[in-house]
């Protein structure tokens, strides 16, 4: 739903379908091999989407983005402190 509301290339959702419920603490080799196969199939089916997400994440940030992130970091550091300690 968010991908319909946001500009293209700003939201990526990866939600693989699991054909079988397998607990997180599963350790049987046949179940782990099954999960590995499911993961490989998912990656193959979504290769283009994964490459697009990787390319967006690897883009160099602009100067404006870096300054905005720095300002937000500083604001977050001082949030909740008395005004006199900010000077």
Residue 38, Cβ density class (10 Å: 0-12 exposed, 13-18 middle, ≥19 buried): middle
Domain boundaries, the chain: 2-86
Answer yes or no: are the C-beta atoms of 53 and 12 closer than 8 Å: yes
The pLDDT tens digits of the residues spanning 17-69 come to 888 999 999 999 999 999 999 999 999 999 999 999 999 889 999 999 999 99
Q: Which of 9, 28, 12 has its CA nearest to residue 20?
A: 28
Angle, in degrees to the nearest 10, between helices 29-45 and 47-57? 80
């Amino acid at each position: 739903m968010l991908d319909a509301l946001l500009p293209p290339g700003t939201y990526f959702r990866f939600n693989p379908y699991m054909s079988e419920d397998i607990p997180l603490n599963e350790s049987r080799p046949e179940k782990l091999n099954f999960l590995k196969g499911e993961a490989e199939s998912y990656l193959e089916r979504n290769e283009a989407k994964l490459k697009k997400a990787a390319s967006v994440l690897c883009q160099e940030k602009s100067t404006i983005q870096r300054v905005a992130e720095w300002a937000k970091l500083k604001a977050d550091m001082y949030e909740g402190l008395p005004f006199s300690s900010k000077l």
